[in-house]
Structure formats: structure tokens, C-alpha cells
Structure 1
Amino acid sequence: MRRFLATGWNRQISVFEDKEAQLSPEPAWAGGTPHCDDIITMDYCSPYYLATGSFDGLTVVWNTDTERIVAQFRSQLKRRDQILTSATLKSPTSQHPPSATNSLSTSSRPASRRLSSYRLKSASSSHLHHVPVDKLLFLKTRVKSKARGQSTLVTSEGGHAFFWDMFSSGPPLGLCPSLRILSYCGRYCFFSL
């Protein structure tokens, strides 16, 4: 029987069985909810790997047979935000448009979560937050061969591409700044510069 997986604002993975009579979610995903914010991207690698990336910057690789976590990754890339109050919006410093050359662009964020009109370049009461994972892709040939010490997962976070080895939960194996993953087709991974 086929299963459909859905993710989103509730930070959970929902499983739907392909039944003729009804379409309703199964009981909760056994792996729990390690994400602290919306899951905004996912990718599947046959026969049983699922990767989810969230707005809080966490990437989780799952085994879909056991519904357990295989690996977790979080880059050290962070963005500096300040959500402005109505008093701050009236101040002269808030009249400057956000910098178009900012390397941590908000273009990777979903439209419903963009804060570009409420962003300051520098602020005294700002907070550091992890950059969202806006796209992730398995390098499927390497995953199937269980290649260790090689990149098996690529994530796009804040205009940077990170290359991870999902068989070891260590730091990223590589980083390419100013890239955005567009798609993965066969043996090729397409980036925009």
C-alpha cells in the first residue's frame, strides 16, 4: 500500500494511507517533532530516507520504515533580525530600505514569513536566529552506495549551499556561498549564482 507524507506549519510529519474509501492521517509519526518551527522543505530517497528542513535551520534525516531519526544537522549560519514596534517604525532609522546586497537575503523565506519590511541593517536590540533551510536534496547515488566521508545531502540556507554526510552527524563537509539550489535532475544538481 502506498503512503503519502505531508509536512508544514504544525512541525510534524503526517502520513496518509492510499485507501479508496477515505483519506485521513494515521496516528502521530513515531519519531516525534524535533523541529521547533515550520517544516518548509523535504526530499525522499528510495528506499527509506526522508529529509526535512525547517524555518529554525534544523535538517533531520529520517528512516521512513522505523520513523526514527538517522541524523540531524544545523549550520552555524545565523541572521540578525529585529522586529520593529510601532514606535520604532516612526523613527528616522526605519526609513532606510533593506540592503539588496545583504548576503543573508530574505528571498529564501516563504512569502508568509518575510520580514524584509521590518528589518534593520544594524540594531542594538537585535536577536540572532538560525537561517531557514529553504531547499534540500539527496545525492541519491551516494546515499544508495552508503558512501561515508562524502556529501550525501545538500541544503540551501540563506544563500549558501552546505554539503553533509548523513552517515556521520558531524559538521558540513563543504560550503559554497551565494548559491541557491534550483532543482535536482538525474545526476545533476542545478544552482543559481
Structure 2
Amino acid sequence: MIVKVLMFMLMFLQSVDSCRARCRNRTQCEPGWSYVSRETGGWCLLFLGVLEMNKASAEEECSSFGAVPSSIDNEEMKQSFMSTLSYWNLDGMWIGASLKPSCNCGSDSCKLTAGCGSQGYIWTDNYTTSPNDLLDSVQGIETTVESGVTYVTPYDSAYLARDGTIRAIWSSSTLYGVMCGKRAT
């Protein structure tokens, strides 16, 4: 039995290694999509803009193209996003980032705990695996101090602002665009 389990594990690991090699070589995007390189392989981006949308609408728009709101894996991607904002003269766009579930207190204000506040956000596109510092200090977090206790407004989402900062926002707010992403083929 142990031998069968070990053989299965070996075959599984070999198939994962094989997929990693194949996935990194994916460089094809559909017409109208832009290619960027990520640690996890090729990634295709499509900006859907000049449509006022909340986070749920942005996710639906991306889904209609078989994509998700894209996270930002590296500086090249961030510059691509920034160029798009500049071209369309927009103040910000939806990206694949949300408040960590452990930081959501379900109300307008809650006690600030370690790892929340400006560091309480995660990438949500399921392909941004490498740690990066782009989400280390989300801006626009509102805090108040009462009787020596710091309280924070737990904005449930984040967006990329025109100045290159990632800022906290309620997912029910509206922005004029989303950067969609999906794996290259």
C-alpha cells in the first residue's frame, strides 16, 4: 500500500512539474488582449472601461470573457495598468484584491488587529502566488482612536488609483473600469 501511495505521489509531482514547464511557455492571447509575463506563466489582460460599475459588476464583465479582475504580480503589470488609466484619463480601476476574510468584522468600524488595517488585503485572481509588496500598505484606510483603542473602517475591496497606489474602497462603490485577466494559451 505504501509503495502505491509513493508511486502515485511521484506521478503527481512529475505531472505538476510538466504542467509548470508548459504553463510558463503560454504566450498566446486572443485579439484585443495584451500579453504580460508572470511568475506563474503567461497572462492576458483586457481593460473594460468607461462603464460605471461596482465590484460585482466588474467581476461579471470579466467573467463574460472567461476572465477575472486581475491582480498585479510585478512592476511590468503595474505599469501596464497605469498606462491604461492614463490613456483613458481615469482616477482608478477595479483589480483583483479584497479584504482578508479574517479582517472583515461585518460592520462600519471594528477594533484594529494585527495584520489588518493597511496590510489586511489579499490578491484574489488565484494566480498571483508570489509575495510582493504591492499590497503591503493599502492607502485610504480610516482609523479612529477611542479610549486608547484604535478602530478601523474595514473597506471590503481595493482598487488601483491613477497615482499608482492601491486604495481601500467599498465593493458597492463605482469606478469606471476593470482590468480583466486570464491565462495565456
TM-score range, shorter chain: under 0.3
After TM superposition, the score normalised by the length of structure 1 is 0.25
The structure with higher relative contact order (CA 8 Å, sep 6+) is: 2
User: Which one has the bigger strand percentage?
Assistant: 1
